[in-house]
Structure formats: C-alpha cells, structure tokens
Amino acid sequence: MRPLPRSFYDRDTVLVARELLGKHLVFAPDGVPRIGRIVETEAYLGPHDLAAHSSKGLTERTRVMFGPPGHAYVYLIYGMHYCLNVVTEREGHASAVLLRAIEPIQNVSGRTCGPGLLCKAMGIDKRLNGHDLLSDDLFITETSSPECFRIVARPRIGVDYAGAWAKRKLRFYIRGNAFVSRP
C-alpha cells in the first residue's frame, strides 16, 4: 500500500473529490491498519466559495486549508464531532475535500455514514490536523482492483447559509452504495 503522491492532491478540487471515490483511507496509529473505502466526498473550492471555511480568511483554524496540498484538515464541529478533509491545489489556494462516508474494509467498527461518524469509527481527532497524507500512518491509497461505479453529484449538506454556493453540485457519492450518508 503506497500513499497517493502529492501531485494527486495538487489538482482541481472537483477532480480530486471525484477521484477519491473508491480509494482506500488508511489510518494505522498503532501499526494496525484501519481501512475504509471512500464512498462520499464534498469539494470546497477556496475563499470565493462561501460554504468553505477559508471564505472567512486565514485564521488559526483555517491555517492548514491555506497550506500545501496532501495534508489533513481536521476540525471539531458542533462541539462534539470531528470532520476530516484533504487539502487540495497549490499552497494558498485554500481548497479541500471533505470525506463524508466510508465503507468499512478492515479493522473498522461502528457506523461510518457521515463525516463525524467516519472520524469516530476510524479514531481520527484533531491531533491529526495538519498531518501529512504522504506518511505511513495516515494516507489514501489506490485499491488493488478498482471496481466500476457511477458517480452521483448533488448539493452539499448543511451549507444553506452559503447562498448560491449551496446550490452547486459539489457533493459526490458512489451510486447505490449502502454507506452513503444521505443517498
């Protein structure tokens, strides 16, 4: 299992969000790999995207989003759930892809159909904020035998405050997959 190269993340955010579908998220904090297949993502395009955290500007919280691609942006939401993003495009572009759901593959127990549940099941918290995804304990990898699937595009969840940006179809999931949070 090899981590995807930095060049994978240093590309158009919508393309990265779509191509992350079907890939394996691996977290091995104690050497034992917990693996989930990514089945649902959302693209956050940068400061001009009013649904993106980076639209509020560079702050301590959004610092990682403004950094180089291929790093984990983890934040606490509603005081109780963590969300995991991967930073995309060149440094300073401040775009990212939110991982919303995975299908358990190995050493993952509990529900995984939602960004908070995904992190809980994988054991991911804010200690991983800023973590390089080209590392040996947290990374995303190509599957050995990729399956064919159709991609569905829908508006993102929970961003009604973002005006016209809330209507953009920047949420992507694998059609028919049982682990998608809101099919």
Partner DNA sequence: CACAGGATCCGG
Partner DNA sequence: CGGATCCTGTGG
For residue 138, the minimal CB distance to DNA (Å) is: 17
Spatial neighbors of 151 by CB under 8 A, at least 6 apart, are 18, 21, 172, 173, 174, 175
- C-alpha distances (whole Å) from 175 to each of 26, 32, 80, 179 are 23, 30, 29, 10
Handedness of CA 169, 174, 176, 181 (dihedral sign): negative
Q: CB of residue 64 vs DNA: minimum separation in angstroms?
A: 10
Of 1 and 67, which has the nearer Cβ to DNA? 67
Instruction: Specify the DSSP class assigned to residue 31.
Output: S
The residue among 89, 93, 56 whose CA lies nearest residue 75 is: 56
CB nearer to DNA: give 61 or 168: 61
Antiparallel, parallel or unpaired: β 24-27 and 138-141: antiparallel
From the CB of 1, what's the least distance to DNA, in Å? 25
**CB of residue 111 vs DNA: minimum separation in angstroms?**
6
**CB closer to DNA, 79 vs 146:** 79
Query: Which one, 18 or 61, has the nearer CB to DNA?
Result: 61
Residues that bind DNA (CB under 7 A): 42, 44, 51-54, 56-57, 59-62, 65, 73, 75-81, 83, 85, 96, 98, 111, 114-118, 156-159, 161, 181
